[in-house]
Chain A
Amino acid sequence: MSRLGTPFLDRNEHHPLEDYLRMDRIPHIWCPTCGLGTALNCMLHAIKKSGIPRQNIAVVSGIGCSGRAAGYVNLDSFHTTHGRAIPFATGLKLANPKLKVVLFSGDGDLIAIGGNHLIHAARRNIDLTVIGINNFNYAMTGGQFGPTTPEKARMTTAPYGSFEHPFNVPFLVDSCGATYVARWTALHVRHLTNSILEALHHKGFSFIEVISPCSTVYARRNRLGDGLDLLKYYHENSEIRNGINTRKCDITFQGRLIVGKFVDKEKPTYSDTMTKSLSEALGDRYVPYQGPMQGKNGD
Chain B
Amino acid sequence: MKYWRKPLDTDRVKPPHGEVHIVIDRCKGCGFCITYCPRQVLEVSTHFNRKGYHPPTVVHPEACVNCGLCETICPDFAIWSTPVEEPEKQQKVTSEK
Q: Which residues of A line the B interface, CB within 8 A?
A: 6-9, 13, 15-17, 21, 26-28, 30-38, 40-42, 45, 187, 189-190, 193, 226-228, 231-232
Contact = CB atoms under 8 A, between A and B. Distances in A.
B21 A13 contact: yes
B32 A16 contact: no
B75 A38 contact: yes
B54 to A, nearest CB: 11
B73 A38 contact: yes
Which 6 residue pairs spanning A and B have beta carbons closest together?
A37-B75, A32-B28, A8-B24, A33-B30, A189-B72, A6-B25
B72 A228 contact: no
B77 A38 contact: no
Given A6-B24, A32-B28, A228-B31, A27 B76 contact: yes
Interface size class of B (residues with CB under 8 A): 20 to 34
Contacts, number: 81
Contacts of B80: 15-16
30 contacts: A6-B25, A6-B50, A8-B22, A8-B25, A8-B49, A9-B25, A13-B23, A17-B77, A21-B77, A26-B26, A26-B76, A28-B76, A32-B28, A33-B30, A35-B75, A37-B74, A37-B77, A38-B74, A40-B75, A41-B72, A41-B73, A41-B74, A187-B36, A187-B73, A189-B73, A190-B69, A227-B32, A228-B30, A231-B32, A231-B36
Contact of A231 (B25, B35, B53, B69): B35
